[in-house]
Amino acid sequence: MNKNKALPNEKKYKTLLKQILPQLGEDQNKIILAEVMLALKQEGLIGKNLTKNDSYLINLIKETILNSPDEMKKALTLANTLKK
C-alpha cells in the first residue's frame, strides 16, 4: 500500500484535528487530549456522552503518551505538521 495515500478515517481524523488545533493554543496536554479523544471517538470506542470508564480510558492513554518522550514527540509532531 502506498504510504502517501491516507486511509479515509486517517484523512478525516487529520481534517478534524486541523480544525480543532487552533482553539488549543500551545498547551501540550490539551493537544494530546484532543488527539486521544478524537481517535477514540472516530473508532467508536467512546460515545457522545462520556462515562467514567471513557474518562478513565482517555486519561490513561493521555498520561501514557505524556510519560513517553517518543510517543509525546510523535503526537506533537503530528499537531505541528497540521498547524502549518
479515509: which residue's cell?
Answer: 8
- Distance between CA atoms of residues 48 and 72, nearest Å: 26
Cα angle 68, 53, 35 (rounded to 5 degrees) comes to: 45
pLDDT at residue 8, as a whole number: 79
Q: Give per-residue pLDDT as tens, 51-72.
A: 999 999 999 999 999 999 999 9
- Give, to the nearest 10 degrees, the angle between helix 28-42 and helix 52-66: 130
Q: Give per-residue pLDDT as tens, 7-34.
A: 678 889 999 999 999 999 999 999 999 9
- Distance between CA atoms of residues 22 and 57, nearest Å: 25
Q: Give per-residue pLDDT as tens, 27-49.
A: 999 999 999 999 999 999 998 89
